[in-house]
């Protein structure tokens, strides 16, 4: 079953950089109608200034349910519905430290963006998909949520929570026509990686049997399958994108 991307309406968070930006550019090239969410208005403006295609940008904090709900209602109202939700928004917080050194505020912010942000967007989008009787949701998790990365307590805990959410939602909506899955990348070459200490990057990369980082292109190819019509019998699953590191 070929996916007609030009008929799809997709909402992507974290769209101003990294994984979200790479996926948004692919879908725009395919003609998909996009709603692009990021906390960074300057990033959204800069990245999509010269871009052709049907899209609308929303500069907001995904941890604020009211802001998320307003953006979803605006986009879905204009587009006539939502077929795809991809939650790429995420932060690592301070890394390279042991658990007792983690700051309370930093811990809460990391969980807020990664977990609450994904929940807020899903909660706002789900009624539209239920009304249609169809939809695709992709929550971006991490190998850190499966395996744990020393020095990254908040991020590892947050992504583990996202994986738990994926499992629950997959079961709850399995008969509704809405497929909810995740993807767990290992180290992907994105701007967020450049902000990590070199020893932290080396620690993560050394754990990958392929001994290299993943690429944005590899992420986009995997993500496009998960949110496509071709994916018709996988839900509640977190797909591996870890170069052989994932054990489950």
Rounded Cα distance, 216 and 221, in Å = 9
Q: Which residue has the tokens 């499992």?
A: 167
Catalytic residue, chosen from 155, 203, 225, 248, is 155
Q: Tokens standing for 87? A: 């939650």
HSE-up of residue 4 (Cα within 13 Å, Cβ side): 1
Helix (H, G, I), strand (E, B) or coil at 147: helix
Rounded Cα distance, 176 and 130, in Å = 7
- Are 237 and 170 a contacting pair, CB within 8 Å? yes
Q: Tokens standing for 72? A: 């979803």
DSSP assigned state of 6: G
DSSP assigned state of 214: B
Clarify whether 48 is annotated catalytic.
Answer: no
Point out the residues that are catalytic.
155
């Amino acid at each position: 079953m070929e996916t007609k991307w030009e008929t799809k309406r997709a909402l992507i968070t974290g769209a101003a950089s990294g994984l979200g930006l790479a996926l948004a550019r692919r879908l725009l090239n395919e003609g998909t109608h996009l709603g692009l969410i990021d906390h960074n208005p300057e990033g959204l403006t800069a990245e999509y200034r010269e871009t052709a295609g049907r899209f609308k940008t929303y500069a907001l904090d995904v941890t604020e349910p009211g802001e998320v709900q307003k953006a979803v209602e605006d986009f879905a109202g204009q587009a006539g519905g939502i077929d795809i939700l991809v939650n790429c928004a995420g932060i690592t917080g301070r890394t390279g430290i042991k658990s007792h050194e983690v700051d309370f505020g930093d811990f809460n912010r990391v969980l807020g963006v990664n977990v609450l942000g994904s929940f807020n967007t899903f909660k706002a989008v789900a009624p539209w998909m239920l009304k249609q009787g169809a939809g695709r949701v992709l929550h971006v998790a991490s190998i850190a949520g499966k395996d744990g990365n020393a020095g990254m307590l908040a991020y590892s805990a947050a992504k583990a929570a996202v994986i738990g959410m994926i499992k629950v939602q997959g079961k709850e909506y399995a008969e509704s026509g809405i497929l909810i899955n995740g993807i767990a990348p290992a180290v992907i070459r994105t701007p967020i990686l450049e902000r990590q200490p070199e020893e932290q990057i080396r620690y993560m990369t050394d754990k990958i049997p392929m001994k290299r980082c993943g690429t944005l292109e590899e992420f986009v190819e995997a993500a496009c399958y998960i949110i496509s019509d071709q994916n018709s019998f996988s839900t509640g699953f977190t797909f591996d994108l870890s170069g052989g590191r994932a054990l489950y």
